[in-house]
A and B are shown apart, each in its own frame.
Chain A
């Protein structure tokens, strides 16, 4: 693993476009697929027409004075502009988010109204930790597949620059009691119960509720369980940043729509992409397991503000409206496992399962887009997928399925470098896979993302010949 990563990394600066183009050519032409298409008779084909995201920014930067629905609205406006979909053609809107702003608990509705969608278009908000927008998209797939809707907008938003910090439970109780107190005497008696410690605030939980462990801590243990060194993790993070930087420089991140922030300059690109050097990264102290852990700020995804949205339609509807959709959304599944020791191991369990469901093999996939929560987590999953012992003892398989080849893996960067606004990452992954398939050439893409609670979403996408020309 180490050597492979080092190799990829070391070759990056010199080879750049060349190597990339070359690998694209080989992947698209040389393989024959296990299945010509994943289309199923009597089941509606569902397509993602197009998708956008506003630039993902480090928390506390240009978006810091905004509210979540502002970001969501910007993504929705961008989608309207990009696709020119008639506002009243949209049947339904779904957004995913993790940390809810209490003023806009149904952020989908507030953002849609603000973006000028018809007030006759209903909207709801879903939450499923880091796969919230995945849930939004698959909910859309469900609505379309069951014939309830033809056109659905799905998206996600997260604003980590501002989080709801609450009064303590005791303080809240006192304030509510005070509200009910009718007479001055009653009020005084309520107030007399006040203690100074009532004022200590309550922060949104950063730990897994069931285990009281932070995700970074769990990731560090996961990396240790798979004996993944600090160097390997730093190398992988550097790969992510380097690939993202190149994708940015080459203008490959075409799902980005500029966002004019009120009172500030127009934001046009992600600001978390910072290819550093291994020496610099080695200087950082461990962020979670101190003083000897291996997960650091440099090899973890960072707190991010951002929003994304995709337009999902029934294929016949899209074609009738004159669209050339980007990709089909095919088989998908959610899996979950032990939130303590296998919190972030979902991709290992889900990838073989969804491939089997679709009737494909690992080789059939041309583009892998995995959510990179932590370098150590990605590497642990790759190692687990490549381990017979793990397959036999934990997955009930006779042998390993193998891990995705790195040359097809997150080629335009990932959450480590592009950023990870919890609720918005799923749509980014889907668009990255679609755009890569179209750019690099290829038919099948596989998107996987793990989430708090030990849950995971995995989805196979397909590009068809008739849409490739676009």
Chain B
């Protein structure tokens, strides 16, 4: 999903249109003759459309463009007018010559530049008009799709008369607007339901999920598939696009000659479904169901999905004029919401955190070794072997190793069941995993990631053992959630090669990787760790070493507050519902159970040594008592809740009542309203995050936001702690903190950087 990508480059660099209407060559040749016409005023045109014309047919290629902008709109209209007005042209093909990308969506900068919803609505209406004209074209236009066809790109494609897509893994069609807090604003809310049916259209627009070409064909989203080609007498990618164009041309001609009809044969099920949906009552039921589901999942925190439903409904029930109007208006409104700004910020941050700003490492890691085949170790191994990285998984006992190997196999096999992998691919990936109990082969390792138990002495022992067998260039990475890397590195002979790689559980699902560098860690070691992380598909933040690094450090004061709130008599269920309704994906009490009570206690004890009173709040005695009774959370079957295999609704652990009762504290009524409880939790988190930036643990606010959202589940609708401060207002947050400070003391004292922002409203983390 590359919505920003090259836009700026395009805007800056390309100042001419590459165009040719080589009428003279019409009957002579299929050879490409491209002439470049410089426009009189180079400022007007910034986009690069190349159109070729031969034998009653126009081929429109988008060159080096991957987003839809207003400039492209006008360029495109100019070419289309040429198509419509020329008596010689009977059909057209629309293709992008940029490998791996048809059009990845609208230009986000275009939306960000708008200051009012009216402006955005107008952009939407212009696009609607253009696509409507395209849809009503009497001369067939074939969209030839290779690579991402997302958002506005999809809206353009579905306005064409015919769609041909390459059956490539990179070819993905989808409407990801909802993930950015907006809706498809160029007609998709009206066209998609007609094209793929109401349920499938809702699914696409409400989940934003990308659809692979073969599924798109089954759904009726594309009409034909073209297989990607292997090597020929030119590079495969280049020839594949050429071939796609050739095939598209034959279909464009066939459509113009009426030898092919764009209509699709529908299967029986499809026919029955569309019949059922012609009954108003059935439709109403569907709207109701979908709305209920959305309400339940978003808790009303995300306005976009509900508006999408509303717009689709308007179009179907009141006709497309009303639908288009509603679409453009809602689009304008949504683009101005805080939620949308937060989500777009996250999207940009995610893109940034998928790049290696440390450059390419001197030596690419080819052989990886993971120590410890536990949940984390096996997870790290899984995300490595499935990217083709040779990985040794070492443990000390055969049963422990076998469990880890089985975890990797199961992870891969689940993908086979979901049909995203073939069994053959699974087998070759699994062959990249070598399970063993000794250090054989470590002399060839380029990187060792240890994921042994969180115990400094054990980590020291492992480090020394490993350094005795690995080559000089090999990086030693420690997967720890709280032990300072500098302390681990004290026993190292080569501390410049020691780094922290903090993965999040479950490793194959959680996108974040927190990389921790000490003062001694070399830049090349960091580059190498980031490179491996990126290859493992991770979103990466790089932070400085310190107790709890960034993520654990932010979470701990919030957890301390969780305990205090529980001690003040708020039940785990109530606490969970307060946190989830604020936007956290997992409730606070459940989170303790998921992390593990012992782990939480361990971390809290360690960090409170380092940070003292600021990390105080709830009594750790609660965790200690829970551990003594064996309530370790999900892994032991009991924590705040009772966990049973196959039971979906978890019940409260009634044995907790006595612990909670024995540690009960009086609550302070003026800071204990539902809202206050939510803000006590979130302001402690945010304050600590800002302090991390202030202290230089974090290099950028972006990394702080990405780490909080992707690693800790900070509410995405708030965009992360730093976006939250910007959008909610630093002053308001400081006010809240002062209020709680008055009640509880230093734990809520706002940090200097936050106070600075509050004092100066022009100061923003994101300009």
Contact = CB atoms under 8 A, between A and B. Distances in A.
- The answer to whether A binds B is yes
Interface of A: 209-212, 217, 220-222, 224-227, 289, 292, 338, 340-342, 380, 383-384, 387, 389-390, 393-394
Q: Which 9 interchain pairs have the tightest Cβ spacing?
A: A341-B230, A225-B232, A225-B229, A226-B232, A387-B233, A210-B424, A224-B243, A221-B227, A389-B233
B224 A292 contact: yes
Contacts of B236: 225, 341
B422 A221 contact: no
A390 B236 CA distance: 11
Contacts of A226: 232-233
Given A209-B424, A224-B243, A225-B239, A292 B250 contact: yes
B230 A222 contact: yes
Contacts of A292: 224, 247, 250-251
B264 interface: no
Interface string B414-438: 0000000010100000000000000
Interface string B241-257: 01100010011000000
Contacts of B234: 389
A393 B424 contact: no
Contacts of B233: 226-227, 383-384, 387, 389-390
Interface of B: 224, 227-236, 239, 242-243, 247, 250-251, 422, 424
Contacts of A211: 424
A212 B214 CA distance: 15
Contacts of A340: 230
A225 B230 contact: yes
A355 B247 CA distance: 38
Contact of A227 (B228, B230, B232, B422): B232
Contacts of A341: 229-231, 236
Contact of A342 (B227, B230, B242, B424): B230
B250 A394 contact: no
Nearest to B231: A394
11 contacts: A224-B227, A224-B232, A225-B231, A225-B239, A227-B232, A227-B233, A289-B227, A383-B233, A387-B233, A390-B231, A390-B233
Nearest to B235: A393
A273 B691 CA distance: 83
Nearest to A218: B230
A369 B654 CA distance: 83
A398 B494 CA distance: 45
A368 B139 CA distance: 51
Nearest to B230: A341
A394 B242 CA distance: 20
Nearest to A342: B230
Given A209-B424, A292-B250, A227 B239 contact: yes
A226 B246 CA distance: 13
Contacts of B250: 292
Nearest to A209: B424
Identify the interface centre among B228, B231, B236, B242: most chain A CB within 10 Å of its CB. Answer: B231
A130 to B, nearest CB: 19
Contacts of A227: 232-233, 239, 242-243
A227 B239 CA distance: 9
Contacts of A338: 230
B230 A221 contact: yes
A11 B669 CA distance: 103
A285 to B, nearest CB: 14
A2 to B, nearest CB: 14
A210 B160 CA distance: 37
A390 B239 CA distance: 13
Identify the interface centre among B233, B235, B239, B242: most chain A CB within 10 Å of its CB. Answer: B233
A342 B424 CA distance: 18
Contacts of A384: 232-233
A84 B230 CA distance: 50
Contacts of A212: 422, 424
A217 B225 CA distance: 13
A120 B182 CA distance: 82
Contacts of A225: 229-232, 236, 239, 243
Nearest to A210: B424
A284 to B, nearest CB: 17
Contacts of A342: 230-231
